[in-house]
Homo-oligomer: A and B are copies of this chain.
Amino acid sequence: MHMVFTVAVAGASGYAGGETLRLLSGHPEIQIGTLTAHSNAGSALGEHQPHLRGLAGRILEPTTAENLAGHDVVVLALPHGASGEIASLLPADTLVLDLGADHRLVDPAAWTEFYGSEHSGTWPYGLPELLLASDVHGERAVTKQRENLAGARRIAVPGCNVTAVTLGLQPGVAAGIIDARDLVAVLAVGYSGAGKSLKTHLLASEALGSAQAYGVGGSHRHVPEIEQNLRLAGAPEVTVSFTPVLVPMSRGILSTATARLAAGHEHATLTDVRRAWEQAYDGEPFVELLPEGQWPTTAMTVGANTALVQVAIDRRAGRVVTVTALDNLVKGTAGAAVQSMNIALGLPQTMGLEHEGTAP
């Protein structure tokens, strides 16, 4: 005997929605219910997600609360700013996972500064491996966000770049080895992270053979979310210079994130540093510190819910350099959603996510 949960997906014709469906198709306890879209409502999913052969004939319904109601789980793969209203209309006991940014930030002012609209409220954050540092009798205790997701009925799935930077740096923050002021992160990112919108700079002719930065100078909306995470991981103060660079691949994020060694840790050895990362990810099924000397590539993670991390000390620069690879659509978005869903529903967190990556 096994339970089957029904899932509706709003925004099924986009990249995040499609990836969610790909993962759910292989999930043994899930039955895929209603699929909705905005301008593509009325057409068959096969026109938009032709790789999902098993769902090709499904007709997309308009994205309304009525169409989404009546499922155990609703996944919202909508543009930023669009999920607040519809979420408020869904029953409280439905598990709602928001792949957009609307419910990630705790601070309403940060939301308004970076997104320019009114804040929709804050939901439990869907990064189970997020480290949460607290002081217990003067000692630092570190727990993980996973426990906050058990039984949750609203989950805000993190931004893909945020996950890459957070997973790379947080062990050093929680261990007090690195200084979270003056972080610098530069990410090579694939085009699917920019979605399916029709913009000239997203055309293949523009992308092929080129690299282009965007959101330079602290304006990217992922900045406050990174800061929020690393504060939770134990940093009293966080500043991060964050620059994503679009490179000619459809998927993947390779994040190079660097921090100065914290005061008192200037002479930390690589063994010391690695120990912090090993401890943070010991037993984690989806986040791994690679063996010394092996550097992550995005190809190692394509299609899998895997984040691979490596760390080095640059003595000359006095900095720890971390490199993190993940698939923006899986561990960066849809895989994180399924993993969080599993936890919220009381299923094994790896269910439907055990498959290896697809390389080369």
Contact, CB under 8 Å: B211 / A249: yes
A88 within 8 A of B: no
- Interface centre among A199, A202, A303, A317, by most chain B C-beta atoms within 10 angstroms, is A317
Contact, CB under 8 Å: B239 / A316: yes
Chain B nearest Cβ from A224, distance in angstroms:
9
- A-B pairs with beta carbons under 8 Å apart, 30 shown: A15-B360, A46-B294, A49-B359, A50-B308, A51-B357, A182-B318, A184-B317, A186-B243, A186-B256, A188-B245, A188-B247, A196-B205, A202-B203, A203-B203, A205-B360, A210-B297, A210-B298, A210-B299, A211-B249, A211-B254, A213-B256, A213-B295, A216-B295, A217-B312, A217-B321, A218-B314, A241-B258, A241-B319, A250-B360, A251-B360
A140 within 8 A of B: no
A70: chain B residues at CB < 8 Å are none
**Would A216 and B248 be within 8 Å (CB), given that A46-B291, A186-B186, A243-B256 are in contact?**
no
Chain B nearest Cβ from A325, distance in angstroms:
8
A355 within 8 A of B: yes
Q: How many copies does the complex hold?
A: 4
A300 within 8 A of B: yes
Contact, CB under 8 Å: B208 / A249: yes
Closest to A199 in B: B198
A22 to B360, CA, bound (A): 11
Contact, CB under 8 Å: A254 / B208: no
A200 within 8 A of B: yes
A269 within 8 A of B: no
A75 within 8 A of B: no
A341 within 8 A of B: no
Q: Which of B49, B54, B209, B297 contacts A298 (CB 8 A)?
A: B209
A358 within 8 A of B: yes
